[in-house]
Structure 1
Amino acid sequence: MIKVITFDLDDTLWAIAPVIHKANELMLVWMKRHAPKFAQTYDDQGIAQLRDEVLANRPDMAHDLSQTRIAFVELGLSRCGYHNAQALSLDAFDVYVAARNDVVLFEGTRDQIATLKLSYQIGALTNGNADLTQVGIGHLFDFHFNSAHIGVSKPHPDFFARALAHTGHGADSFIHVGDNPAHDIAGAQAVGMRTIWMNPDNNPWPDGYTRACAEIHHLDQLGPAVAQINGN
């Protein structure tokens, strides 16, 4: 009997690429006023290179996207000669994260989760750093864990184990819904959860992974998929 449904967030409940692009743009607009050398030096590609450099030197930080971003922005500011790079990086992060939480939910997200919440506990399990309250759907979730909270990223089994421990239910009482075959589907399967693959772009299932219990292309298909898995 299914009792808990957990969701990945980025690219499961909203498309993340345009959100990150916009957040970087708004951060660079802020930088033009407060740290113009940074804005002149780094575009999206340059920002990505800073991130990769920080993670190459600090792989232990990879699970914490917020601290990683603050660190690589501070690195870029320092290289641009700003002696107050740490303070500037924190202020820039505030600008970035506000935009990062300004997402456009996939059609049907609110209604589908609200309906499921009538019968199941609802949780969020994400490697990202979205704030569900700022997104505007925090009231729909009973719990929310991200990789920074837990100290590891999906698909590590300890990530999913946190949800099991929090609810007190066994893995066979869970359905995890996510877009990533490795992080979401294989990770949840490894601890015994049932899974639903959210595949809005109709991508082929990758070789080497066990298929999810169900595949959906739109969140309006979620209710029937849950009912089928639950034997209703």
Structure 2
Amino acid sequence: MDIAGLRALTLDLDDTLWPMRPTIERAEAALQAWLEAHAPATAARLRDRVWARAVRAGVQRDHPDRHHDLTFLRREAIRVALRESGDDPALAEPAFEVFYAERQRVELFADARPALERLAARWPLVAVSNGNADVRRVGLGDYFVAHVGAREAGVAKPHPGIYQAALAAAGAAPQAALHVGDDPLLDVVGARRAGLAAVWVNRHGHDWDATVQPKDCGCGGGDMARALHAGSVQPQPHERPNAQVAHLLELCERLGLV
């Protein structure tokens, strides 16, 4: 990998630095426990997963301009659930804070922190995420010069706007930046279309061509993300990753940080 002109790295968070699913499951369990104590009617209805999914789908349908803002969508879904269950909708704020606090309790992949230490010592790092984890609250703020989330950028990956915001924060041109992430479409194709090089963090040994086939997304990336994941905008050969690694310490090795 040619790193002579590299001036900055942008990094995805969920499923790149830590596994996302167990984090969200813990946060949802904490929210459910809080609702059991403070809004039992809502807690009871949310045990019906079909109903809970319908509430979330309704919020997304009613707010098409907020698909990139997962904080808004989560808080509003709680508010709707409370109202439809006969509980006080004002409880949505403290309920969301319970979820959000637990959302920041992540379990890093073993390679994440040592890799961040090496990378941050060499280049400015900018976190780029569609999710609502906060690198400062997670405890990784010292490694990053900035954190660009979809909510702040107004668009989500793979939209080029979020990458442009990250480049501005890093003070780097697209051709002098490298994006690192786990999602073939949101991270790799999105970054490549924004003019950045991209490294695919492929922890599970997936085949690229099979991985970029159409699938159901739920990624919060708006029309472009849904089009990519639905297969109506197929990745082109030049949008393949510049490299793929099994973990972040392998990335450090590929970048000459030994």
Shorter-chain TM band:
over 0.9
Asked whether 1:220 is paired with 2:223, we answer no
> In the alignment, which of 45, 51, 73 is matched to residue 41 of structure 1?
45
> In the alignment, which of 133, 136, 139 is matched to residue 133 of structure 1?
136
Q: Is the 8 A contact 2:128 2:149 kept in 1?
A: yes
Paired with 1:25 and 1:175, the residues of 2 have a C-alpha distance of 36
Q: Is the 8 A contact 2:12 2:182 kept in 1?
A: yes
> In the alignment, which of 199, 202, 207 is matched to residue 204 of structure 1?
207
1:55-134 superposed matches below 5 A: 55-82=60-87, 84-85=88-89, 87-134=90-137
Q: Is the 8 A contact 1:202 1:217 kept in 2?
A: yes
Per-residue deviation, residues 122-170 of structure 1 (Å, max 9, x unmatched): 1100000001111111111111000000101111111111122223321
Asked whether 1:26 is paired with 2:30, we answer yes
Paired with 1:163 and 1:155, the residues of 2 have a C-alpha distance of 13
Taking structure 1 as reference, are residues 31 and 135 closer, same or farther at Cα in structure 2, changes over 3 Å only?
same
Q: Is the 8 A contact 2:104 2:133 kept in 1?
A: yes
Q: What is the deviation of 1:178?
A: 0.7
Taking structure 1 as reference, are residues 204 and 153 closer, same or farther at Cα in structure 2, changes over 3 Å only?
same
Gaps of 5+ in 1: none
Paired with 1:130 and 1:225, the residues of 2 have a C-alpha distance of 28
Q: Is the 8 A contact 2:125 2:170 kept in 1?
A: no
Gaps of 5+ in 2: 214-233
Q: Is the 8 A contact 1:185 1:196 kept in 2?
A: yes
Taking structure 1 as reference, are residues 44 and 216 closer, same or farther at Cα in structure 2, changes over 3 Å only?
farther
Q: Is the 8 A contact 1:24 1:44 kept in 2?
A: no
Tell me the percent identity.
Answer: 34
Paired with 1:88 and 1:177, the residues of 2 have a C-alpha distance of 38
Paired with 1:11 and 1:132, the residues of 2 have a C-alpha distance of 14
* Root-mean-square deviation over aligned CA pairs: 1.7
Paired with 2:252 and 2:240, the residues of 1 have a C-alpha distance of 19
> In the alignment, which of 14, 17, 26 is matched to residue 13 of structure 1?
17
Per-residue deviation, residues 195-215 of structure 1 (Å, max 9, x unmatched): 100111212212543320111
Q: Is the 8 A contact 1:147 1:159 kept in 2?
A: yes
Per-residue deviation, residues 59-114 of structure 1 (Å, max 9, x unmatched): 111111111111011000000112x31x2111111100111111100112111111
> TM-score by structure 1 length?
0.93
Q: Is the 8 A contact 2:145 2:170 kept in 1?
A: no
> TM-score by structure 2 length?
0.84
Which residue identity is paired with 1:171? P
Which residue identity is paired with 1:24? E
Per-residue deviation, residues 27-78 of structure 1 (Å, max 9, x unmatched): 0100010000111111383433321211012111111111111101100000
